[in-house]
């Protein structure tokens, strides 16, 4: 049996143009919806799969305002059976603060009889790019950790995790409990069913106050990269364009004369 805690973050849905706030420290969210990162969507799917396969329980956690309940209920709708909201102002919490708050919940649940075999986080935060939470959390809990994981299997006393490294596919075997930072691409997140959505509405959310005095992220400002100029070259129309297409393919090295 594997009990899995998966951590998600309510982040702006930035499928359109990104606008930075006036102070330069965050994304201007006045005209945006909210979601979780694609890394975390895959982490939720993997948590549900692992818990289902082993007869365990998948719990979803988020640190944020009460609005984060929306993302917690989305995770319940696709299979998580329990949800925890660490209610706090996320702007005041840097990666070390978030890790400490999560560690506090993990320790308290263990004393209450729910020990987690795996803790899953996204590889990095979709809104700020922070990638430290998984590493810091593992350090605080004195657990093994590996990042950039796409899939994993739970075995007797261990977890076998798979990811892509600079030289190709990599496989790690870790003793449980462990922390895994999940990268998108290994699984396809499921869509919530109607019964799942109904369950999500009825499921109570455990709300806790973090016993952490945040020190913040130390972030000075966010900076948008300059827009990349684009151009269009019309090579011709119909059969008359064929020589120009061949010349272009030769120029970029696709074909040789």
CA distance 46 to 120: 9
Where the chain has pLDDT below 50, the residues are: none
**Could you read off the pLDDT of 168-185 as tens digits, one per residue?**
899 999 999 999 999 999
| Domain edges within the chain | 4-208
Residue-level pLDDT at 241:
85
The CATH fold of domain 4-208: Rossmann fold (3.40.50)
pLDDT digits (tens, 9 = 90+) for 204-240: 999 999 988 888 877 777 776 777 777 787 888 888 8
Which tokens belong to 83? 């949800």
Rg (CA), the chain: 22
Q: What is the pLDDT of residue 233?
A: 79
Query: What does the buried/exposed string (b/e) look like for 83-113 if buried means 16 or more CB atoms within 10 Å of the residue's CB?
Result: bbbbbbebeebbbbbbbbbbbbbbeebeeee
């Amino acid at each position: 049996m594997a009990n899995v805690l998966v951590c998600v973050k309510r982040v702006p849905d930035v499928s359109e143009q990104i606008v930075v706030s006036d102070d330069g420290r965050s994304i201007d969210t006045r005209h945006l919806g909210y979601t979780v990162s694609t890394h975390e969507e895959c982490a939720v799917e993997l948590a549900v799969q692992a818990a289902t396969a082993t007869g365990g329980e998948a719990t979803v956690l988020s640190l944020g305002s009460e609005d984060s309940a929306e993302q917690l209920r989305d995770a319940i709708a696709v299979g998580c059976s329990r949800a925890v909201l660490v209610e706090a102002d996320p702007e005041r919490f840097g990666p070390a603060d978030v890790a400490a708050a999560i560690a506090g919940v993990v320790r308290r649940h263990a004393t209450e009889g729910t020990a987690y075999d795996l803790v899953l986080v996204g590889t990095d935060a979709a809104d700020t790019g922070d990638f430290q939470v998984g590493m810091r959390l593992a350090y605080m809990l004195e657990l093994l950790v590996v990042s950039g994981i796409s899939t994993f299997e739970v075995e007797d006393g261990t977890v076998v995790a798979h990811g892509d490294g600079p030289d190709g596919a990599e496989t790690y075997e870790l003793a449980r409990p462990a922390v895994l930072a999940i990268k998108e691409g290994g699984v396809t997140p499921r869509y919530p069913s109607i019964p799942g959505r109904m369950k999500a509405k009825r499921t109570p959310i455990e709300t806790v106050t973090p016993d952490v005095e945040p020190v913040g992220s130390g972030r000075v400002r966010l900076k948008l990269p300059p827009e990349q100029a684009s151009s269009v070259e019309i090579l011709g129309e119909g059969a008359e364009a064929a020589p120009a297409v061949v010349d272009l393919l030769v120029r970029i090295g696709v074909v040789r004369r």
